[in-house]
Amino acid sequence: MAGEQPAGLNTLIPNEGLIARVTFQDDRVVLTPSIGSNRDRLNRKIQNEKKFRDLTASVPGLYHPKILREDPSTGRYEIERAKGFNLTSGRGQIQGGGMVDFFHVPIPFKAEAMLTYLRAIDSVNQAGYCFVDHKSDSVFIDSNSKRVSIVDTDALEVYKSGAWERELRGGLPKVLRTFFTRDIGTKDEWTLIPAGPTIVIDGLKSYKSAHEAVVALEGWMRGEKTIHYGGFGVSGTKDHFDLLVSPLKSPEMEAKVRSTDFTHVTDYQRDMLEAEIYTASLFKSEEPQAIDKFVLGIGK
């Protein structure tokens, strides 16, 4: 199916309907200038995208949708569509499936995807660039291919000093949370984020660079003590998890708790189990239908 839509998701220039005319096709998106005078602006955006590809070519797990055809003389570009879910819950902006499907994406992969995004930020910062505006609707995660795609790099700018501080002012903490929450907007959405990443996100200002945050997350995922929990209130006891899982009445989750050796569990393993229980709690009774109806705007 192909159809013309305003410039938006799955393109390189979300929310820029005055600049580009966008046609979505099964495997690609076609961009053309909305008017002739916008050709040069569209060409500059594509050049920015190519610069980002060069800067992050070595980032593991980061996939750059291919530019399949390009004609700078007319400003026409055909670009591979990004796969997976984007990280927004905004009505009319969701790509890749509804909220229920998103919350079935394994939480360990979401943590790995968040790490991939931070590695990309680290790469551009070290090269003297930064993102001055982070957009969750332009970040896609695909658990099938284990890849992350960033399809709007228009906010990439040269920043020879203070790049990390500018990233924080540009909405980086909020985007990192959406890897787990998709910005669902419920009062308990913080429970969907494992404790380790929560502490990293909340404490981003305490790191001197994106690289320091990357090192902390990498160590946490390996089971090392690289994240300091302080008074966060995390409990690793079996009693704590028995209390969490009991209301679910889920034999599967109860079996996971029983099989966990809480005397030797790592911070990573404990945090993953806790987030999985909280995520399962979100979908008790009629919650899945209510969530998708609210977010997709198809009724209450």
Domain ranges of the chain: 3-80, 235-290
Please write the tens of the pLDDT for every residue from 185-233.
777 788 899 999 999 999 999 999 999 999 999 999 999 999 988 766 5
**Strand ranges of the sheet holding 147-150, from the earlier edge strand across to the other edge:** 85-86, 139-142, 147-150
* Three-class DSSP category at 32: strand
Q: What is the pLDDT of residue 281?
A: 85
Taking alpha carbons only, the member of 125, 295, 129, 124 closest to residue 209 is: 125
Determine which helix (DSSP H) or strand (DSSP E) holds 254, and give its type and residue range. Answer: helix 251-259
**Blockwise average pLDDT, block size 10, the chain, 300 residues:** 37 53 88 88 92 97 97 96 91 80 94 98 97 94 97 90 95 96 83 94 96 98 91 75 90 93 92 93 60 46
Domain 3-80 part of CATH 3.30.200:
yes
Amino acid (1-letter code) at residue 77: Y
Vertex 85 angle, CA 81 and 89, to 5°? 120
Q: What is the pLDDT of residue 165?
A: 96
Q: What is the pLDDT of residue 231?
A: 62
Amino acid (1-letter code) at residue 127: A
The CA distance from 211 to 223, in Å, is: 19
Burial of 120 (0-12, 13-18, 19+ CB in 10 A): buried
Mark out the alpha helices in 71-106 (DSSP H runs).
99-102
